[in-house]
A and B are shown apart, each in its own frame.
Chain A
Amino acid sequence: MEAWFALLVGIFFTVAVYLMLSKFIIRMLLGVAVLGNAVNLLIFTGGRLMREVPPVIVGDTEALVGPAANPLPQALILTAIVISFSFFAFLLVLSWRAYEDLETDNTDEMRVAEPKDEPAPPLGY
């Protein structure tokens, strides 16, 4: 089971990296969204996949009997989801503002902060 998930995670990462290598911000944003999910799946798989047994201690027993699903990765993923979602929301708004103000979504043309032909520093005075 883990092997199949590992493959799936690999596909997610491939897609994310491919999209983020684009010049266009909208594709990079899609890449970021896929990347967040890739990492979440990675953590999920890293915590080992054990199906359908919730870690609940039943009846008079005092400890878990037999294997059960690992709850910790789910807590980690929940944190990561919240964070990556807020990042995505921020970057989405930022990209929209960039498109409005800079009138481009091509990162090659975003040279406002680092102009192309800056004068060289003076060699003497």
Chain B
Amino acid sequence: MAASTSPPVDFSAALVMAPTAPAEWLVILPVAWCLAIGALLVMLRRPIGLHPTIAVAGLVGLVVIDGLLLHQIVRHGPMTMMMGRWLPPFGIAFTADLMGALFALVAAIVALAAGIFSIADINDSGRRYGFYPLLMVLMAGVSGAFLTGDIFNLYVWFEVLLISSFGLLVLGSEREQIDASVKYGFLNLVATTLFLIATGYLYAVFGTLNMADIARKAEELRSIAPLMTLAGLYMLAFAMKAAAFPVNFWLPASYHTPRVVVSALFAGLLTKVGIYALIRVMVMLFPVEREELSFVLAIAGALTMFVGVFGALAQTDFRRLLGFLIISGIGSVFAGVAVGGPGGIGGAIFYSLHSMLVMTGLYFASGIAMRLGGSASIVTLSGLYRRNVGFAALTLMLCFAVSGLPPFSGFWPKVMLVKAALDIGAWWLAAALLIAGFLTTIATGRLFLLAYWRDGTTPAVNVAALPATTMAPLAALTLVALLIGLYPEPLLSAVQSAAAGLADPSAYEKSVFPGGRP
């Protein structure tokens, strides 16, 4: 070693020398926290009685962390933490902006609700096979996907959440679940592989994987590089993850088979990660290509809405019906991404957040309905209203919310999307949004009519009183949907500034490269 002759080492050439501020740790904390709790649960494999307590406490912690993170970002703008202190763009960046923090917070709320619901829904065998560790690792993957600033790292988080979702989906190993997992597994594998292919090409073209760096370089490379190909590949990969028509078939094949709480988690989280990635890549990294592809996105969105809602009308199984309603909602988000602008993108973000809360709540309702009525089919399910009026009222509110009726959370994003579509003259897209909303009202109305209002044709199943841990999360999510509907002001302004931050990512770039371009 020539240590004595070499000049003093200048670490600042490769490393971030400024000490990491305590607040910056918040960017990575959601992921680290979930992984730590998940590891703890794996270590405590035998005392499964402790699992729910630890997991729920961990999820409460996650909500607090994400709340603090959102608070910081609202006050100070996007925050970046470099892994291993490598200078950007060489290290992996974790960059939280307003959109990522909003998604992460709502995901944490959904997971907390599911964690509480699971206490009564997951039996000892489910706990022994690792429901709670898988739940925490799933949340690590979801939080990581929402907060990372590196596109290859986004792929890794996709895989983390996908592999834990496999584990959750086959929990129970019933024949139906295995059948569903085969379809879910293969099709999602193709989707993430497409994502990886696109990322490989992107690296070949850009020579960087840092999203802030990509957003800057896209400008110069646009004339010489096939960015349209990249954008098209990403659009297809994320459309598949989000279950948009015509690549939606894995969702109705699988979402009705696992435990109710797993369905609810998937409904709230998985497709929305696809949506998040679509918005992040198409709006922030490839805005010009999004503009070019907007017609494709709009057609896909409109078809997705109708495939979803007609599928819902044709179903007899409560949970399969809900699966098609998720797809219909994805269509509305696609319409927003196609329209663009603060109204379209803001509406798409708002709609996703609303859909996370409401669809999870509806899946909880389907679980309680199965407990009360002893059936999952709306042909035989009946008389739920008479058996539990409060539960029926909560379900009705969620049905209104998912149909986009006021005064619930679905109304405002629908208004934003329809207005944005009309503003750019896409009257047919606005009409599709409204007609799909109307058909959703029919689908959920018929569900309510048959399963809740119809007098009991089957003898009442003797069920024990509902545990409070199943009703409380349903009531809480309904309350949030109602509050957002009654007082949408804070969320409206938040999603609008999130959309503005995507359209002009200079604040995002500045947080990654504080000293300007290296």
Partner-B contacts on A (CB < 8 A): 20, 25, 28, 32, 35-36, 39, 42-43, 45-48, 59-60, 72-73, 76, 79-80, 83-84, 86-87, 90-91, 94-95, 97-98, 101-102, 107, 110-114, 118-122, 125
Q: Contacts A91-B189, A110-B182; is A47 near B454 (CB within 8 Å)? A: no
Partner of A110, one of B177, B179, B190, B317: B179
Q: Contacts A60-B5, A98-B179, A121-B379; is A86 near B254 (CB within 8 Å)? A: no
Partner of B170, one of A43, A48, A94: A94
Contacts of A28 in B (CB 8 A): 186
Roughly how many angstroms separate A114 CA and B179 CA in the complex, as a whole number? 9
Q: What 9 pairs between A and B have smallest CB-CB spacing? A: A46-B204, A43-B200, A112-B179, A113-B180, A113-B179, A42-B200, A83-B159, A113-B176, A46-B200
Residue of A nearest to B202 (CB): A46
Least Cβ distance of A86 to chain B in Å? Answer: 7
Roughly how many angstroms separate A35 CA and B314 CA in the complex, as a whole number? 36
Contact status A122-B450, CB under 8 Å: yes
Q: Contacts A113-B180, A113-B254; is A122 near B186 (CB within 8 Å)? A: no
Contact status B175-A90, CB under 8 Å: no
Interface centre among A84, A86, A113 (most CB of B within 10 A): A113
Does B395 sit within 8 A of A, measured CB to CB? Answer: no
Least Cβ distance of B329 to chain A in Å? Answer: 21
Contacts of A111 in B (CB 8 A): 179
Partner-A contacts on B (CB < 8 A): 2, 5-6, 152, 156, 159, 163, 166, 170, 173, 175-183, 185-186, 189-190, 193, 196-197, 199-201, 203-204, 252-254, 256-257, 313-317, 378-379, 446, 449-450, 454
11 contacting pairs across A/B (C-beta < 8 A): A36-B193, A39-B196, A43-B203, A59-B2, A80-B196, A84-B193, A94-B178, A110-B179, A113-B179, A114-B253, A121-B316
Q: Given A28-B186, A98-B182, A113-B176, output 17 extra A-B contacts at Cβ < 8 Å.
A: A20-B190, A36-B193, A46-B203, A76-B200, A83-B156, A84-B193, A87-B163, A90-B185, A94-B166, A107-B182, A107-B183, A110-B179, A110-B182, A113-B177, A113-B180, A114-B253, A121-B315
Contacts of A80 in B (CB 8 A): 196
Partner of A112, one of B176, B315, B449, B454: B176
Roughly how many angstroms separate A42 CA and B166 CA in the complex, as a whole number? 27
Q: Contacts A28-B186, A83-B156, A98-B182; is A113 near B257 (CB within 8 Å)? A: yes
Roughly how many angstroms separate A76 CA and B153 CA in the complex, as a whole number? 10
Q: Contacts A47-B204, A76-B203, A121-B379; is A114 near B252 (CB within 8 Å)? A: yes
Roughly how many angstroms separate A43 CA and B5 CA in the complex, as a whole number? 40
Interface centre among A45, A90, A111, A114 (most CB of B within 10 A): A114
Least Cβ distance of B248 to chain A in Å? Answer: 14
Residue of B nearest to A93 (CB): B170
Least Cβ distance of A13 to chain B in Å? Answer: 9
Least Cβ distance of A38 to chain B in Å? Answer: 8
Least Cβ distance of A14 to chain B in Å? Answer: 14
Contact status A60-B450, CB under 8 Å: no
Contacts of A46 in B (CB 8 A): 200-201, 203-204
Q: Contacts A46-B204, A94-B185, A119-B379; is A35 near B193 (CB within 8 Å)? A: yes
Contacts of A102 in B (CB 8 A): 175, 178-179
Least Cβ distance of A111 to chain B in Å? Answer: 8
Least Cβ distance of B126 to chain A in Å? Answer: 17
Contacts of B185 in A (CB 8 A): 87, 90-91, 94
Q: Contacts A90-B166, A94-B178, A119-B316; is A60 near B2 (CB within 8 Å)? A: yes
Least Cβ distance of B247 to chain A in Å? Answer: 14
Residue of A nearest to B249 (CB): A114
Roughly how many angstroms separate A90 CA and B134 CA in the complex, as a whole number? 15
Contact status A120-B173, CB under 8 Å: no
Contacts of A86 in B (CB 8 A): 163
Contacts of A97 in B (CB 8 A): 173, 178
Contacts of B182 in A (CB 8 A): 25, 94-95, 98, 107, 110
Contact status A121-B378, CB under 8 Å: yes
Partner of B178, one of A32, A98, A120: A98
Contact status A118-B316, CB under 8 Å: yes
Contacts of A125 in B (CB 8 A): 449-450, 454
